Amino acid sequence: MTIARRSAVSVAAVWALVLASALVLTGCTTVPIDTGASASAANAVLKSGPTVAKLPTADIVPVAPGLVPGPRADRIIALDRNGTLGSIVFALGLGPHVVGRDRSTTFPSAAQLPYVTERGHAINAERVLAQNPSIVLLTEDATPAGAVDQLRAAGITVAVFTGKRSIAGNSALITDVAKALEVPDAGRKLVQRTEKQVADARKQVPDPSGDPTIGFLYIRGEHLILLAGPGSGADDLITALGGTDAGTKAGLDAAFTQVSAESMIRANPEVLLVMTQGAESVGGLDEVLKIPAIADTDAGRNGRVVAMDETQILMFGPDTGLVLSALATSIYA
């Protein structure tokens, strides 16, 4: 993590999701799958029927309510594609000091904050500067680069973090954000809480799990269906859920790959994870099951499609354990 500060005249920030709202498609390769991989027979512990996985609460629960930040962090803007940085700031207890948000920060306690990013998650420097922030948190892949330079030139402290999201990287990311905001004790508490929730969620996965083949699909209408593969973040989530990532097993080498009905049938996942908004784009979970690319898979025949809100399922951060728990409960009987 690096922190930069420079002086000048005015006032500005972003974010996205690697998939168009919680998951921006930028950089995703769309190479057709051609594999003979097939899933194993459905495991007896898997639930059948479509399910919507939900967190116990839609809002972020602060580990230290009323926390007072260092002077540099009195007015905070946190921007990234998954909404992870914003969720960490609120989970630390610094929500009252946040003055702007990205398009993926949608939980209730942030709902009244103004957006400072465009629909494509690009930083709008003027909107950021208008909120007069004392610090802006963003990721190394924040765009456009000119907007970031404009923030620095205006004398805003800019703290830059990795854009990679994973369970293994959670604790370091939380710790780095807490240090940047000068609240290291709250950071330690949040790391402890998050790690405990992840550990508790892992206990909800049957042992043995049967190693089901689980696929994560990004859907935007029936003609845009992408299967997640290595490096998508979904593969990390699926491993923690006791499964094998369908995209990785099928030999994909891109984070997201456009799939045909034939290639999906060959990959033949036993369970599918989708974003709720993606399911809604084709008319709901029942309609998802009718899509040819899904209907003839093991998951489709048994109705094993689990939906979760796009701003939660691949966010990682402080609610990772809660996400894992909700998904495990939806996948396993």
Q: What is the DSSP string of 288-318?
A: HTTSHHHHTSHHHHTT-EEEE-HHHHTT-GG
Cα(223)–Cα(178) distance, integer angstroms: 42
pTM: 0.85
Encoded tokens for 327: 């998904």
Cα(101)–Cα(236) distance, integer angstroms: 27
Q: Distance of CA 88 to CAs 94, 267, 273, 289, Å?
A: 9, 36, 24, 35
Q: Give the DSSP H or E segment for 219.
A: strand 213-219
E-strand stretches of 32-116: 51-52, 76-78, 98-100
pLDDT in the model for residue 205: 96
In order along its 333 residues, the chain shows pLDDT tens digits of 544 433 333 333 333 333 333 333 333 444 444 444 433 444 448 999 999 999 999 999 999 999 999 888 999 999 999 999 999 999 999 999 999 999 999 999 999 999 999 988 899 999 999 999 999 999 999 999 999 999 999 999 999 999 999 999 999 999 999 999 999 999 999 999 999 999 999 999 999 999 999 999 999 998 899 999 999 999 999 999 999 999 999 999 999 999 888 888 888 999 999 999 999 999 999 999 999 889 999 999 999 999 999 999 999 999 999 999 999 999 999
DSSP 8-state symbol, 155? T
CB 151 within 8 A of CB 136: yes
pLDDT in the model for residue 42: 44
pLDDT in the model for residue 148: 96
Q: Distance of CA 256 to CAs 12, 102, 219, 246, Å?
A: 32, 23, 11, 12
What backbone torsions phi and psi does residue 78 show, to the nearest 5 degrees? -120, 125
Encoded tokens for 231: 């490096």
pLDDT in the model for residue 1: 52
**Domains plus CATH for the chain?**
2-21+60-201 (3.40.50.1980), 51-55+204-331 (3.40.50.1980)
pLDDT in the model for residue 177: 98
